[in-house]
Amino acid sequence: MSGLLSEDLLTAIGRVAEPKRELVTRRDIRKYAVATGSQQRKYLDGDVAPPMFHVPLFWDVVELSELTPDGVSIDTLLPIFPLNRAMAGGLDIDYVKPIYPGDWLTATRTLTNIYEKSGRSGPLIFYEVVMDVRNDEGELVIREKTTRILR
């Protein structure tokens, strides 16, 4: 190992982002279904949200000047890492309850792990973020774990 992960950096594990609350509308479900090429009538009519609908629902809406060079908003949950070329490392989504129009959903993101591995081209940093999406009754609707790799 190259020892890229300082104790200070590792103290970020457990950091929780400010919760984001959004209203699910029939129109947004329909727009998402059309944009993703869905063919199921329940999605096209907006009766229930299709898989992956929640992902852009909680994205920040920011001005272009607030985006990184690759077009992503800056994630304030994350510490500043010594490596910065990001790659997808995995996405695990548990759909617990359906999402319906009129649902108010609250997403809470937690930085759950940071670790280092050696790759063919040098050291790699992995980090994991878990997002819990709950309805207004406090019931878990979705749990999503994202793994990213930095090199």
Looking at residues 63-70, what average pLDDT do you find? Answer: 84
Domain count, the chain: 1
Tokens found for residue 22: 């959004």
CB half-sphere exposure, 1, CA atoms < 13 A: 8
Cα separation, 40 vs 53, whole angstroms: 14
Q: Which is nearest to 89 in space by CA: 116, 67, 110?
A: 116
- CATH number of the domain to which 38 belongs: 3.10.129.10
Please report the pLDDT score of residue 71 as a whole number. Answer: 80
Between 21 and 62, the higher pLDDT residue = 21
Give the domain extent around 30: 7-150
Cα dist. 107→41, 57, 122 in Å? 27, 10, 35
In what order do the strands lie in the sheet containing 104-119?
20-23, 104-119, 122-135, 140-150, 86-95
Tell me if 2 is assigned to some domain: no
Tell me if 109 is assigned to some domain: yes
Tell me if 142 is assigned to some domain: yes
Say what percent of the chain tops pLDDT 90: 83
Name the residue with tokens 């973020």: 129
pTM: predicted TM-score of the whole model, two decimal places: 0.90
Tell me if 1 is assigned to some domain: no
| Tens digits of residue pLDDT in 110-138 | 999 999 999 888 999 999 999 999 999 99
Please report the pLDDT score of residue 2 as a whole number. Answer: 61
Tell me if 122 is assigned to some domain: yes
Tell me: pLDDT of 10 over 70.
Answer: yes
Q: What three-state secondary structure class fits 136?
A: coil
